[in-house]
Amino acid sequence: MAAGEDWVYRFSEQEIAEIMDAAATLESSGRDIVTTGRDDFLLPKTAATFAGIYEELKNGKGFVQMRGLPIGDISRAR
């Protein structure tokens, strides 16, 4: 692990924008997170990225560090 960072995924600006837009749409819908499904959180451009991350988790190293999401701009609904 120390020799490289092939286990790190850095989200692009386009991916971040799509994730943040989907989150804002979900939040404004008032839908309960417990009843939220795939069809409620559409990521047409970023879906392939998450499929690749899932594949790495399941059949690869078993871990991925994801970087770039602006966590300071995200709130937790209560």
69 close to 16: Cβ distance less than 8 angstroms: yes
Place of tokens 């209560």: 78
Q: What is the pLDDT of residues 11-68, one digit of tens each?
A: 999 999 999 999 888 888 888 888 888 888 889 999 999 999 999 999 998 999 999 9
Q: What is the pTM of this model?
A: 0.80
